[in-house]
Structure 1
């Protein structure tokens, strides 16, 4: 039997230093969802390394600031890019 190196459609798999970004995205999304003072139903959380990007919409500028603070409080988050808009 011959074993070939793993690839995805001919490309080598991505390598992540540290935890997989999905773990950090999930941790931030969970923190936002349990916060009582932020409506996270229209917030999208994405991760670029340990940098979190928040996009979507919230109800007020204060809620956007609170969402940024919550995301920044999650362990392993180095920076938060707030791209939230409000109604």
Structure 2
């Protein structure tokens, strides 16, 4: 990668990290985004499959991201029924 591509990748990673940190009900402290061009790879762990889906969907909404690949692992229960639903 050249310096411009490195800067662009770092900027995308920063934007995705900020977006993930703002998600309610998702502990993004164990998610690390890695940008390769316009593709972002999410690595790390989340507690539920819903958290993983929220993380992917959120990353897809960041300007400049055209594809998101999830390498997230689950640490807790996959499907917890939410109260009242």
Q: Distance in 1 between matches of 2:26 and 2:19?
A: 10
Residue 27 of structure 2: aligned partner: 39
Higher helix share: 2
The answer as to 2:59 corresponding to 1:71 is yes
When normalised by structure 2's length, the TM-score is: 0.80
Which runs of at least 4 in structure 1 moved beyond 3 Å after TM superposition? none
Residue 81 of structure 1: aligned partner: 69
Larger Rg: 1
Q: Distance in 2 between matches of 1:37 and 1:73?
A: 18
When normalised by structure 1's length, the TM-score is: 0.78
Gaps of 5+ in 2: 76-85
Deviation per CA, 1:54-85, whole angstroms, max 9, x where unpaired?
A: 01000001110110000001111000001100
The answer as to 2:69 corresponding to 1:49 is no
Secondary structure of the 1:44 match is strand
* RMSD after superposition: 1.6
Gaps of 5+ in 1: 1-12
